[in-house]
Structure 1
Amino acid sequence: MAAQVLSAAPIPSIHTPRPIIRTPTPSSSKPNSTPSTPFTSRFPDGIKTSGQHAPLYDLLRPYEQFPKHITGPTVWKAEDYKDQPGRWTHRFTPEQIEELSDAADAFLANGLPLTGISKETFPLPHLSAFLESVRSELVDGRGFILFKGFPTWAWGNHKSAVAYMGLGTYLGYFVSQNGRGHVLGHVKDLGEDPTQIDKVRIYRTNARQFFHADDADLVGLLCIARALEGGESDIVSSHHVFNVLQAERPDVVRTLTEPIWYFDRKGETSRGQDDYIRTSVFYLEKGENGRVYTKWDPYYVRSLTRFSDAGIIPPLSAAQQEALQVLEQTCLRLALHMILEVGDIQFVSNSQVLHARTEYKDHPPTSSFPRRHLMRLWLATPEGEGGWKLPFHDSFEKKRGGIQVDDTPPVCPLDAE
């Protein structure tokens, strides 16, 4: 794939710290599209998404303490997997589909809302052991898996969402993905202007998404409908990228380890919070032998000119401009390309994998084919349950990261809104 220049407008065998920005200005939330909830709490499990936060600056390490070369299962090359999909895909067996289907039917029969899904309300006595191995691979290994054969065409969106979230609860805790409290997200073109990057979230457009990490430990994407053209996925081991940059451009790595990067909150902030966060791109975990954790999204870095033009924050330096270009070009050069078919589920760890999406074109409105649609999950894996030891104050919180605006409750719309 040819390198692209970043611009302000549109871009298994199973085994493995990500920073987080700060949170949204309340927007009115539409009612949950699932059955009415019997819970009286705004947060059915009593736990609120922690939200975006600046790092604990006294825990950040200087470039000199970062490794010169990373080894281990988190480091992989595209050529390791390109022609061997069996190494990173798992096709659900008929027995596994039946177990998911039965659990989803039972959950629906109980009349619970999607926000009430947990291991207790969605038991998977046989599949759970396998999903534990998947979680281990995601958190401590290569950091990605592609499931195939999830029968969305037979189940429809509601049951598919239940089964998808039920599966996800064995991998992590659901966190809110935007200021409206969506814990079931929808990647879909809503016709918003992707050039308005200080206001618009790119997942709501058909623009290219450059390599980035989301504000959660894990991200899941269930393909409901494909685009007419494009919308294909690229992933890359950020540890392999780190090694290549250390060998080719250590000056770029140094720049990326410095807490000089401002990330936009795009208005998704709680009362009293800043509109941006100062952070690094590469971190080290807390403690001895800390792993390199990556926090990155060029759209959130490039969208802050309204503040830098006003002299509130410094503009990107020449070194930073070069670093973001070199990082993107290196990711493109090293990436593994994949196409999500209907019924595929991709899970990726944001700690040691960066992901991207090509620009896409939907079927025309007069077509009988639906628009491209992915259901998205953001999942937290807290430090106390084997997650990465992040230099953030919420590292031990069950629902660390995500985006939380004031006390906006979690909701699970069944389509984009």
Structure 2
Amino acid sequence: MADVAILPYDQYTDAPGTLFVKREWEEANAAHPENFDFGDVPKGWPKKLTGPLVWNGKDLHAHPEKYVRLLKDDEIAEIDAGLKAFQKLSLPASAVAQSTFPLPKLGASLRAIGKNLYQGTGITLLRGFPIQKYNREEQVLIFLGLNSWVADTRLDQGIGRGICHIKSIKHLDPAQRGKIFVSAQNNDAQMYHSDAGSEIVGLMALSLPSSGGQSTVASGWQVYNHLAEHRPDILRILAERKFRWTANGIPEDGVRLIHWLNEKLYINFATRTFIGYAEAPERDHKFPPLTFEEREAFGGWQWISEQFSLESSLQVGDIEWVNNLHHQHARRGYIDDENEPRHLLRIWSRDSEFSPELPLDIKNKFDAMFKEAPTFYPLDEIEEDIRRKETGVFTASCKEETAAERVRTGFTKLVLG
């Protein structure tokens, strides 16, 4: 393999010329006069958030016991027994649930992880499962089984998918695959974002790249506190302006990107959604371009998130769960080993016991996306891409998508990786 350099993350942007790299954000921030009045936080919002959802990644990294849960030998054996119990039922993958994938002892611990994801730090890394001992179908079933105890409702990731393969398809002939819209399908870095639709995002590492690809997560509540003190104007832009893109559940006049409800901050946005990405790298022309203020706001959110982020070098078998309502996540760029490329499984879920009331903008979007339980569980990225082409979804640029396709899928084309 020829040597390929990974672009330093502080020089990365999803949209060159529109979204700021770190240096561009710092220059824009420094251009304001020293005593410039940035105003106050949005009306009725707190000046500072407190509680376990507020954390600095450097502190968690220094105390991994706060977010890393190591599996014991007897728990690994229990998971294997749960898999065998499910296989004896001869049911499809869509039937994996707490009742069909029994974990009599570990289940209680996984339920505690679910509670922590909603009411604690909002992040957990489960480590130590020997996933490579199992075939691909078994790997998928194990991931679904463990996740069913953490959050009991699986959500549709588009085209009826109950599971998504995070694996680059750049090496495939572009004429024989769908266009790449999302970071799930290439090896570029990605900026901080919320996945398009989920309360909890789960990722399981099946294989890892030869270099790069670290996972990063930032507490949205920590980012809020920093901006409330230093740049409250950015919070007002994200909380009060309406941003528009084409997707079911997004009204014509747009939605706000951060929300305050029942004494909690909610976040659900990704700049890629209305900018474009990879092989569809432009904003829908029926919407006006972002203003400089908006670009600066996104730059501030991105690079303050990076400042406080937790970076994890995943290990094979790791499962990382992140609260997608309060935190955002990103990824470093990576170099694949062509013989064993980076491959993660992703699941979107919510839990019926812990799920909160959602801000109306997020609720309307989710209601449009999650009308039916997912039934498609592809075993690899090729099977997944074939379904994309068969349905005509996620295969063309935003402006080529027809209204009929949007109605049929009930889903934004720019699903986030």
Alignment partner for residue 297 of structure 1, among 252, 270, 277?
270
2:95 aligned residue? 116
Q: Which structure is higher in helix share?
A: 2
Distance 1:204 1:307, change over 3 A: closer
Aligned counterparts, 1:330-349, within 5 A: 330-349=304-323
The answer on whether the counterparts of 1:380 and 1:401 sit within 8 Å (CA) in structure 2 is no
Could you tell me which residue of structure 2 aligns to residue 206 of structure 1?
A: 187
Q: Confirm whether residue 78 of structure 1 aligns to residue 57 of structure 2.
A: yes
Q: Deviations over 1:17-68 (max 9, x none)?
A: xxxxxxxxxxxxxxxxxxxxxxxxxxxxxxxxxxxxxxxxxxxxx9202111
Matched residue type, 1:318: F
In structure 2, what is the Cα distance between the partners aligned to 1:277 and 1:107? 47
Partners of 1:330 and 1:277 lie apart in 2 by 28
Measured in 2, the distance between the counterparts of 1:66 and 1:105 equals: 50
> Structure 1 residue aligned with 2:331, among 357, 364, 388?
357
Cα RMSD over matched residues?
2.9
- 1:223-262 paired onto structure 2 within 5 Å: 223-262=205-244
Pairwise mapping of residues 249-328 of structure 1 onto structure 2 (< 5 A)?
249-265=231-247, 278-285=254-261, 289-303=262-276, 309=285, 312-328=286-302
Residue 344 (structure 2) aligns with: 374
Tell me if 1:392 matches 2:398: no
Deviations 1:248-267 (Å, cap 9, x if unpaired)? 100001101024122454xx
1:290–1:274 Cα change, 3 Å: closer
Q: Residue 411 of structure 1 aligns with which residue?
A: 376
Task: State the distance in 1 between where 2:16 and 2:83 align.
Answer: 40
Change in 2 beyond 3 A, CA 1:401/1:222: farther
- Give distance in 1, aligned partners of 2:321 and 2:224: 21
String of CA shifts for 1:314-363, please: whole Å, max 9, x gaps: 32122111101111111111111111111111111111211100111111
What is the CA-CA distance between 1:388 and the residue it aligns to? 2.2
Q: CA deviation at 1:89?
A: 0.6
Q: Is the 8 A contact 1:234 1:338 kept in 2?
A: yes
Cα separation, partners in 2 of 1:167 and 1:350, compared to 1, 3 Å = same
Partner of 2:413: none
CA shift for structure 1 position 164: 1.2
Once the two structures are TM-superposed, the CA of residue 73 in structure 1 deviates from its matched residue by 0.9
CA pair 115-255 structure 1, distance change in 2 beyond 3 A: same
1:106 to 82, 85, 98: 85
TM-score, normalising length: structure 1: 0.75
Report matched runs for 1:57-206 at 5 Å. 63-172=42-151, 173-178=153-158, 180-191=159-170, 200-206=181-187
Contact kept? 1:99, 1:124, Cα under 8 Å: yes
Distance of aligned partners of 1:155 and 1:198 in 2 relative to their CA distance in 1, 3 Å threshold: closer
The answer (yes or no) to whether the contact 1:380–1:400 under 8 Å persists in 2 is: no
Cα drift, residue 408 of structure 1: 9.1
CA gap of 1:119–1:402, structure 2 versus 1, over 3 A, is farther
> What SS does the aligned partner of 2:254 have?
strand
- Quote the Cα distance in structure 1 between the aligned partners of 2:145 and 2:58: 33
Indicate the residue corresponding to 1:39 in structure 2: none
Q: Does structure 2 conserve the Cα–Cα contact (< 8 Å) formed by 1:146 and 1:346?
A: yes
Q: CA deviation at 1:300?
A: 0.8
Compared CA separation, residues 183 and 8, structure 1 to 2 (3 A): same
Does the 8 Å contact 1:5/1:325 carry over to 2?
A: no
Count the aligned residue pairs: 343
Deviation for aligned residue 1:106: 1.4
- Which structure 2 segments of 5+ residues have no match? 1-7, 20-40, 385-417
Q: 2:297 is paired with a residue of what secondary structure?
A: helix
Per the alignment, do residues 278 and 199 of structure 1 end up closer, same or farther by CA in structure 2, a change over 3 Å counting?
Answer: farther
Structure with larger RCO (C-alpha < 8 A, sep 6+) = 1
- Distance change (3 Å), C-alpha of 1:8 and 1:275: farther
Aligned-pair distance for 1:394? 8.4
Contact 2:242 2:253 in 1 (8 A): no
What is the CA–CA distance in structure 2 between the aligned matches of 1:6 and 1:207, rounded to whole Å?
A: 10
Cα gap change, 1:224 to 1:9, in 2 (>3 Å):
farther
- 1:256 touches 1:323 (CA, 8 Å); kept in 2? yes
Shift of 1:370: 1.5
